[in-house]
Structure 1
Amino acid sequence: MSTPSAVPLLTEWERFCAEHPQGDLREFAIWLLTHLDPLRASPPPPAEAEAQLQAGQRVLEAYTLDDDFLAWFFAGRLTRYVRFYTKPIMAEHGFAGPDEFLFLALIGEMDRPTKKEVCAANVTDLTTGMDILRRLQRRGLIQETPDERDARAKRLSLTEQGAQVVRQVYEQLEQMPQVVLADLDAPDRQHLLRTLRYLNNYHFQFYRP
């Protein structure tokens, strides 16, 4: 079995250094992923996919120097796409939206959390979170039990009905023709998930429910 040649990698490194004299290895890795990304070879998206601004510019062109705004813009659109895809499933099971299902699913995975812990895990303010929990409890999907160490605290868990609903929704989500990560291949998926996890952990330290 022949050993792969390192020449193509060195060629790209020289090209990167010529374009970015102060760049380091980490920046080179990101640059390499971007330039070798198979999505770059895909046909351009339809014009309606991005807002048309003055002089025919698209958002990415108009805000090319404002990465924070672009991240906010595209992350917000991705969230709305997810809501659009999952709306029929959520409605079928009586959920007002994905947030209610996320609360239910996380309660099933957490170790008998308190209401405050569930709200923090979903990055939801206490007022909104408590409303969601009350709706789930009224529907018989979650139940409260006293905390053995603190009589003032209540612990949450799924009822049998709640666990059944979670299983049904998971099965339907797996059968959706559209998926959040689209047709990204495995390396791209892992790279995106690592980035999203980093951003989540970074921002959570400043979050106050």
Structure 2
Amino acid sequence: MEYNLVIDTLKQLDSFQRLKTGSDQCLEDFRCYLNEQANEKELGQKITASKDKDIAEIENAIAEQVLMLGRYSKHLLKKSLERHPDLVNEDFTYLFHMIGLASLTKMQLIEKNAHEKQSGIEIIKRLVRNGLLQEKRDENDKRSTRISLTEKGRQVSTESIKDISVASKILCGKLGEEEKNTLLLSLEKLNSFHQYVYKNLKNEEPESILKMVGNE
């Protein structure tokens, strides 16, 4: 028997139980704890090893985590929206951005969802075809089309947001309230920066945008 392995496991179990005092514990929680410890150790080693290298290890690690979370969230949202056949992929965000608004122009709605013009137009067409959005000519600018929710669109928004909320809770995993608040503040700060870049600098070269970050 590998006694050193048993001893190391017992030490980790003791640390886990001390950390989780007062809460229900199970094998799956312990496994997640071990994974977190391993990830933190690996990240620390990468940062230490790259201090003298021209490699943004921490930024690369964040980008990887964001990309993976995007894929996980897409899968969760797809499952959550199975009861709403009129909504495909991320169509629901177009409805949610219309809640509480009388109307928006097509381009305003597309920009709120950070989509390319052609992709956004196709989504709007699909939502109009499914009776969730309606369009009419802008009275002040005949070249522009305004978009608004239909009664069916409001109903689907109300019903689907309950299912989206379930997916959102799952996506947050086992983060505590303080962790959620900290993460939300960081994400809002990131989104504010990227919204500015998207609206004003989308055609700029990455090297020019990087100068805004202060790393150059």
Tell me what 2:54 maps to.
none
Q: Secondary structure at the match of 1:156?
A: strand
Tell me what 1:169 maps to.
160
- Which residue, out of 144, 151, 154, partners 2:142? 151
Contact map agreement 1:142 1:159 (CA 8 A) in 2 = yes
Superposition deviation, residue 127 in structure 1: 1.1
Say yes or no: does 1:100 pair with 2:87.
no
Say yes or no: does 1:126 pair with 2:114.
no
Structure-2 separation of matches of 1:155 and 1:83? 28
Map 1:27-176 → 2, pairs under 5 A? 43-45=33-35, 60=43, 64=47, 65=50, 66-94=57-85, 95-97=87-89, 99-176=90-167
When residues 159 and 44 of structure 1 are mapped into structure 2, their CA distance, relative to the original with a 3 A threshold, is: same
- TM (norm. structure 2) is 0.64
Superposition deviation, residue 177 in structure 1: 9.1
Contact map agreement 1:142 1:162 (CA 8 A) in 2 = yes
Unaligned runs of 5+ in 1: 1-36, 51-56
Matched residue pairs, number? 162
1:60-99 per-position Cα deviation (integer Å, ceiling 9, x unaligned): 46853412211111011111111222222323312331x2
Contact map agreement 2:134 2:147 (CA 8 A) in 1 = yes
Contact map agreement 2:138 2:146 (CA 8 A) in 1 = yes
Percentage identity across paired residues of the two chains:
25
Superposition deviation, residue 161 in structure 1: 0.7
Structure-2 separation of matches of 1:191 and 1:61? 21
- TM (norm. structure 1) is 0.66
Superposition deviation, residue 198 in structure 1: 0.7
Structure-2 separation of matches of 1:112 and 1:177? 27
When residues 155 and 191 of structure 1 are mapped into structure 2, their CA distance, relative to the original with a 3 A threshold, is: same
Unaligned runs of 5+ in 2: 1-18, 21-28, 51-56, 204-216
1:158-178 per-position Cα deviation (integer Å, ceiling 9, x unaligned): 111111111111122334595
Contact map agreement 2:81 2:163 (CA 8 A) in 1 = no
Q: Secondary structure at the match of 2:104?
A: coil
Contact map agreement 2:128 2:134 (CA 8 A) in 1 = yes
Structure-2 separation of matches of 1:176 and 1:198? 23
Contact map agreement 1:85 1:178 (CA 8 A) in 2 = no
Superposition deviation, residue 201 in structure 1: 1.1
More helix by share: 2
Q: Secondary structure at the match of 1:143?
A: strand
Contact map agreement 1:63 1:70 (CA 8 A) in 2 = no
1:101-153 per-position Cα deviation (integer Å, ceiling 9, x unaligned): 11121122444111111111111111111111111111111001232322222
